[in-house]
């Protein structure tokens, strides 16, 4: 039986009170990384959290006043070929501790859709191109070596608000509108997500970072605890109860560039959303305005 994670539990994990007022909104930001794909572990030498504490402390200080920071862990897998798991776990532990020191809870994002982009090499390190780890022996090894030990160590950790299994998996689904070079069938990606979710079930709430509200139903078979949608562009979202009638719904990404983040948060709260995480502090893209994020908190 799936463990029930009522909104009060999520609120308490964010440092809130159990008697959450109706319309209360958990607010936060996507870090989403210091160095994409190797904040945790090692790719081009160790540049992870434990080697980058001064910069990280500055970033987390900028987010003081927020509740949650969303943070990519394995991303496209570029650190997996070179890291000792213990080094990665040490980086995760230090990240959780530093976030907690700044009054933040963490939503770790395990994998990113670039997992299924065509493989490339940069200075001896493979980036992208991990589709073989979505099935068969490769998937079993991934779970046994990395995912299950991570869950064993950080399951039930109160510094984690929820585990995001995958960022925008729709972009890698062959039947949808994939934007990567190695898309996989929806059924295969569901199998991948079932496998990586199994070690976390019952110990942390689970979510997926859906690219839009229209695609949230693709991941309903996973029996998630929290519906998370991303909202870009100018079109309005439906009310939260139209996205899910029985689960809390968060906006896991919305732009800080060319938008008023505070106004968007007010709109989301009025529509019944229970969390909103702005994009982003460190993103190098046209949806990020760090100054607007700094001003928000």
Tell me: the pLDDT tens digits for 183-209? 999 999 999 999 999 999 999 999 999
For residue 121, report the phi and psi dihedrals to the nearest 5 degrees.
-120, 135
Structural domain includes residue 2: no
Give the chain's domain count: 1
Question: Do the domain assignments include residue 43?
Answer: yes
Of the pLDDT bands very low, low, confident and very high (cuts 50, 70, 90), residue 115 is: very high
The answer to the question of residue 1 being in a domain is no
d(CA 45, CA 169): 29
H or E, element range at 20: none
Residue 101: domain span: 7-296
Residue 24 domain flag: yes
pLDDT in tens, 146-175: 999 999 999 999 999 999 999 999 999 999
* Comparison of pLDDT for 43 and 21, the residue scoring more: 43
Write down the pTM of the prediction. Answer: 0.93
- Any domain includes 161: yes
111 within some domain: yes
Peptide bond into 86 cis (omega under 30): no
Mean pLDDT over residues 45-55, rounded?
Answer: 95
pLDDT at 177 over 80: yes
CATH number of the domain where residue 249 is located: 3.20.20.80
- pLDDT for 234 equals 83
> Residue written as tokens 């605890």?
225
Rounded to whole angstroms, how far apart are CA atoms 81 and 237? Answer: 40
Q: Span 240-265, mean pLDDT? A: 96
Is residue 103 assigned to a domain? yes
The predicted model gives 38-63 an average pLDDT of 96
Give the model's pLDDT for residue 10: 54
The residues, any chain, with a CB within 8 Å of residue 263's CB and separated by 6 or more, are none
**Of 25, 15, 30, the residue nearest 105 (C-alpha):** 15
What does the pLDDT average to over 89-113?
Answer: 98
pLDDT at 15: 40
Q: Evaluate whether residue 118 is within a structural domain.
A: yes
Q: Which two tokens stand for residue 113?
A: 């859709």
Average pLDDT over the chain reads 92
* Confidence at 259, pLDDT banded by 50, 70, 90: confident
């Amino acid at each position: 039986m799936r463990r029930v994670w009522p909104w009060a539990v999520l609120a308490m994990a964010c440092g809130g009170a159990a008697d959450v007022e109706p319309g209360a909104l958990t607010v936060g930001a996507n870090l989403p990384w210091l160095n994409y794909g190797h904040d945790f572990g090692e790719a081009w030498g160790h540049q992870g959290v434990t080697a980058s504490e001064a910069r990280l402390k500055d970033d987390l200080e900028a987010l003081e006043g927020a509740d949650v920071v969303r943070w990519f862990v394995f991303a496209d897998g570029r650190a997996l070929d070179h890291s000792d798991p213990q080094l990665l776990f040490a980086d995760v532990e230090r990240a959780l501790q530093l976030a907690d020191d700044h009054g933040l809870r963490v939503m770790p994002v395990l994998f990113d859709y670039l997992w299924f982009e065509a493989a490339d090499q940069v200075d001896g390190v493979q980036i992208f191109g991990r589709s073989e780890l979505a099935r068969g022996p490769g998937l079993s090894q991934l779970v046994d070596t990395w995912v299950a030990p991570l869950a064993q160590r950080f399951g039930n950790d109160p510094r984690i608000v929820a585990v995001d299994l995958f960022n925008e998996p729709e972009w890698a689904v062959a039947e949808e509108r994939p934007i990567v070079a190695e898309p996989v069938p929806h059924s295969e990606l569901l199998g991948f997500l079932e496998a990586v979710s199994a070690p976390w079930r019952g110990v942390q709430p689970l979510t997926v970072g859906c690219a839009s509200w229209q695609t949230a139903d693709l991941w309903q078979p996973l029996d998630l605890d929290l519906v998370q949608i991303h909202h870009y562009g100018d079109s309005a979202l439906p009310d939260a109860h139209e996205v899910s009638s029985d689960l809390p719904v968060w906006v896991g990404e919305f732009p800080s560039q060319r938008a008023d983040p505070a106004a968007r948060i007010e709109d989301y709260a009025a529509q019944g959303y229970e969390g909103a995480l702005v994009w982003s502090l460190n993103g190098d893209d046209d949806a990020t305005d760090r100054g607007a994020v700094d001003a928000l908190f």
